[in-house]
């Protein structure tokens, strides 16, 4: 099928909003475990190290699925893959709700990661098929509203729902919403009506040999870790090491994400005006300082650090995806994402939370945050090495 011509931003906005709504459900199911983790730990009798490894189990499935999606999209339209992902997430989430042991939960989260990971390459391909290249920054800023609203809503939803149901029933509810969203997109969605370029070893070698690929890989690893890792352990850290109540910890987690959507939109507009690389530099530098402060601050300064870290952590992604879309041509973009994002997710969504959980098990969450902030700052050294066009593919 031949793709439709890209629309101007205003005309494409309703369809962008539809795709963003599906991304919201996809991301909400991923981040809901952070505010639920205290309840899960209590019921299953596990410690912070075990909790951190649950994120790693999910990330293994997610990363494997992301990589495979680049091959799947050569045979199935991107819009169909988006539908399959939404339905699969709902089914997997319902199955996870019925697990009874730690091993079952870990395996269930790995399977959930597989279904969830199908979305992102096809979602990005569908989004870029709808708008002109000069509007990529604004389009991605709309798309990034989904994770930012998810990060804000997840702890509030947990506070609201846990008064009347347990964590398993929360999973059942969200799984049902994902299935409903997938069905609706199948019949009413728009964008992503083409398949990706058939992959071959020469194509993959060209992508991974490129200096831009490795630079973007490091930056995405740091950015995903900045956005997700502190969030994933924050209630555990605030309750166990800083003495906050569970309700106040989840409320602060939600408060910290209120400005996230504004940060994502602001970053998209800034990226369109000054370019993605300067925007990435500013966002990661500010986020590294705030992440360092998470481990060093106390009292009101700690509250400020939680809020500022959350705000700056989301500003990378509109610029990051805009730069990625400029670097890789449209016919290989989904393959490039399938090579890059799995490693970034495995590192930032799995390894870093697991290491923070290990640090927390030894009473050293603060040291973990300080080390993460230092690594983020060091990653800025690769930015001058990045070019905006890839000539090797």
DSSP 42-57: HHHT--HHHHHHHHHH
3-state secondary structure of 340: helix
Please say if the pLDDT value at position 172 is more than 90: yes
Give residue-wise pLDDT tens across range 241-258. 888 888 888 888 888 888
What is the pLDDT averaged over residues 89-112?
91
Tokens 């969200």 correspond to what residue? 174
Please report, for residues 87, 244, 358, 383, the alpha-carbon distance to residue 19 in angstroms, rounded to integers and kept in the order given: 14, 37, 36, 30
Supply the mean pLDDT for the chain.
Answer: 84
The model's pTM is: 0.72
> In terms of C-beta density within 10 A (0-12 exposed, 13-18 middle, 19 or more buried), how is residue 315 classed?
buried
Distance CA 283, CA 285 (A): 6
123 vs 85, 151, 305, 359, 372, CA distance in Å?
10, 19, 32, 35, 29
Tell me: pLDDT of 388 over 60: no
pLDDT (mean) for 158-183? 91
pLDDT tens-place string over residues 317-328: 888 888 887 777
User: At residue 1, does pLDDT exceed 80?
Assistant: no
Fill in the DSSP letter of residue 198: P
Separation of alpha carbons 178 and 219, rounded Å: 30
What is the pLDDT, as a whole number, of residue 368? 92
Please report the pLDDT score of residue 5 as a whole number.
55
* pLDDT band (50, 70, 90) for residue 183: very high
* Of 149, 203, 135, 210, nearest in space to 23 by CA: 149
How confident is residue 6, by pLDDT bands cut at 50, 70 and 90? low
- Can you say how many angstroms the Cα of residue 77 is from the centroid of all Cα atoms in its chain? 23
User: Angle 114-120-125 (CA atoms, 0-180°, nearest 5)?
Assistant: 135
The closest of 371, 370, 374, 361 to 241, measured between CA atoms, is: 361
pLDDT at 175 over 50: yes
CA gyration radius for the chain?
Answer: 20
Q: Show the DSSP H helices in the chain as ranges.
A: 9-31, 33-44, 48-72, 78-96, 102-116, 119-130, 136-143, 145-161, 167-188, 201-209, 211-240, 246-255, 260-274, 276-296, 299-313, 316-327, 330-345, 352-361, 365-379
Determine the pLDDT at residue 393: 44
pLDDT in tens, 15-56: 888 889 999 999 999 889 888 887 888 878 777 778 778 888
Q: Is 261's pLDDT higher than 80?
A: no
Instruction: Give the contacts of 324 (CB within 8 A, at least 6 positions apart).
Output: 216, 333, 336, 337, 340
Q: How far is Cα 328 from Cα 309, in angstroms, rounded to an integer? A: 30
* Residue where the block lists tokens 């905006």: 388
pLDDT at 392 over 50: no
Task: Between 278 and 5, name the one with better pLDDT.
Answer: 278
Is it the case that residue 167 has pLDDT exceeding 80? yes
Is the model's pLDDT at 203 over the cut of 70? yes
Work out the percent of the chain whose per-residue pLDDT is above 70: 93
C-alpha distances out from residue 52 to 33, 41, 248, Å? 11, 11, 22
pLDDT tens digit sequence for 215-244: 899 999 999 999 888 888 888 888 888 888
Q: What is the pLDDT of residue 375?
A: 93
Tell me the pLDDT tens digit for each residue of 274-287: 888 889 999 999 99
Tell me what pLDDT residue 2 has. Answer: 43
Please report which confidence band the pLDDT of residue 70 belongs to, taking 50, 70 and 90 as the band edges.
low
Report the Cα–Cα distance between both ends of the chain, in Å, rounded.
24
**How many other C-beta atoms are found inside a 10 Å radius of the C-beta of residue 38?**
20
Query: Does the structure show a pLDDT above 90 at 365?
Result: no
């Amino acid at each position: 099928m031949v793709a439709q011509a890209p629309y101007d931003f205003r005309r494409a906005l309703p369809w962008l909003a539809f795709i963003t709504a599906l991304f919201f459900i996809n991301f909400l199911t991923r981040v809901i475990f952070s505010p639920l983790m205290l309840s899960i730990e209590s019921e299953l009798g596990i410690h912070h190290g075990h909790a951190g490894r649950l994120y790693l189990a999910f990330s293994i499935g997610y990363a494997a699925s992301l990589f495979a999606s680049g091959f799947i999209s050569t045979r199935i339209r991107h819009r169909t893959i988006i539908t399959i992902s939404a339905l699969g997430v709902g089914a997997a989430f319902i199955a996870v709700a019925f697990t009874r042991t730690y091993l079952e939960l870990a395996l269930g989260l790995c399977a959930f990661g597989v279904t969830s990971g199908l979305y992102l390459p096809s979602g990005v391909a569908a989004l870029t098929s709808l708008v002109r290249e000069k509007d990529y920054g604004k389009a991605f800023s709309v798309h990034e509203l989904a994770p930012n609203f998810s990060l804000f809503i997840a702890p509030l939803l947990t506070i609201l729902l846990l008064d009347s149901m347990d964590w398993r029933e929360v999973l059942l509810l969200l799984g049902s919403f994902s299935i409903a969203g997938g069905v609706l997109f199948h019949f009413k969605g728009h964008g992503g009506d083409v398949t990706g370029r058939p992959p071959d070893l020469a194509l993959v070698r060209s992508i991974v040999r490129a200096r831009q690929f490795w630079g973007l890989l490091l930056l995405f690893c740091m950015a995903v870790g900045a956005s997700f890792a502190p969030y994933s352990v924050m209630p555990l850290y605030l309750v166990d090491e800083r003495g906050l109540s569970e309700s106040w910890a989840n409320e602060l987690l939600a408060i910290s994400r209120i400005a996230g959507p504004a940060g994502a939109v602001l970053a998209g507009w800034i990226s369109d005006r000054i370019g993605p690389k300067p925007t990435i530099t500013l966002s990661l530098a500010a986020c590294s300082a705030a992440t360092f402060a998470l481990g060093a601050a106390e009292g009101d300064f700690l509250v400020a650090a939680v809020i500022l870290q959350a705000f700056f952590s989301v500003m990378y992604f509109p610029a990051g995806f805009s730069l990625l879309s400029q670097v890789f041509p449209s016919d290989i973009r989904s393959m490039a994402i399938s090579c890059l994002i799995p490693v970034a997710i495995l590192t930032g969504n799995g390894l870093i939370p697991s290491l923070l959980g290990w640090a927390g098990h030894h009473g050293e969450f603060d040291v973990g945050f300080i080390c993460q902030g230092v690594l983020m700052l060091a990653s800025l050294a690769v930015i001058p090495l990045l070019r905006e066009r890839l000539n090797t593919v």
